[in-house]
Structure 1
Amino acid sequence: MAMQEVSGGCHCGQVQFRVRFADPPELLNCDCSICTKTGYLHLIAEGADFVLERGREVLTDYRWGSGRAQHLFCATCGIKSFYVPLSHPDAVSVNWRALDGVEDVQPRIRAYDGRSPGKTTVERMGEISG
């Protein structure tokens, strides 16, 4: 499987990163309240495939619900270009819409049930794929 590496970041440019992903990538379209309201499309990247190049000092976090997901936003422009998700705590979720140069990439988009409160990640994933 071919791999691609692209750059991304926030709107004002203070937060910038690189991410590697398999081509074609699989994106998760989560229906939880925060993802729905922000239009976030998740590209789940292993830690070794994500490099924050600039902007750690301008990141602020927002936690809700269980408080375990670390939603990271640029304190200047408010864009959440990546974060550490509850569903994949050892990975980074990158917002596909915050990536540069992916216009010609054809991702596979899969629905993800993020509205099931109280269920474990394993239970939610089993219901979706099963």
Structure 2
Amino acid sequence: MDLRKWYAGGCHCGAVRWEAELPQTFEAEDCNCSMCAMSGNIHVIVPRGRFRLVQGADNLTEYTFNTGAAKHRFCRTCGIKSFYVPRSNPDGFAVTWRCLDDWNTLRVTVTPFDGQNWEANGARLAHKSQD
């Protein structure tokens, strides 16, 4: 059994800081939608109760497109999207794997996700989180 613990993370400049409760071994999604592909975002979805924003709420700006369901949040200072509210799990957060402070010490399996065809594949992600 892989017990969960709280891991710290945040943006590049440090203005935005958060914590996410994750197991040491988990699966992260490498999505090819227009947003994730352009930014190289590989993320893991956590339920709302396993995420806490520690600082920088006032330094976040938000971008939405298409359906507007996903809430892409970026640091106003450095532009890094270290977490966002995903379309597939609007009651949780997608944490950017490499924005975790100790990202390279975790055992992560990166799984491709065809976000370019989200309508056909989105149900696979719905409620799929590290719960």
The normalised TM-score by structure 1 is 0.89
Q: Partner residue of 1:57?
A: 58
Q: After TM superposition, give the deviation of residue 6 of structure 1 in Å.
A: 1.1
Percent identical: 37
Q: Which 10-residue stretch deviates more, 81-90 or 109-118?
A: 109-118
CA distance in 2, matches of 1:85, 1:15: 18
Consecutive unaligned residues in structure 1, runs of 5 or more: none
Residue 41 (structure 1) aligned with residue 24 (structure 2) = no
CA distance in 2, matches of 1:76, 1:104: 27
Q: Partner residue of 2:129?
A: none
Consecutive unaligned residues in structure 2, runs of 5 or more: 126-131
Q: After TM superposition, give the deviation of residue 101 of structure 1 in Å.
A: 1.5
Q: After TM superposition, give the deviation of residue 23 of structure 1 in Å.
A: 2.6
Q: Partner residue of 1:10?
A: 11
Residue 21 (structure 1) aligned with residue 3 (structure 2) = no
Question: Which protein shows a greater Rg?
Answer: 1
Q: Partner residue of 1:95?
A: 96
Q: After TM superposition, give the deviation of residue 109 of structure 1 in Å.
A: 1.2
CA distance in 2, matches of 1:33, 1:17: 25
Q: Partner residue of 1:104?
A: 105
**What is the number of residues matched between the two proteins?**
124
CA RMSD of aligned residues (A): 1.5
Deviations 1:71-118 (A, max 9, x none): 000111110000001011111000001110232212011111111154
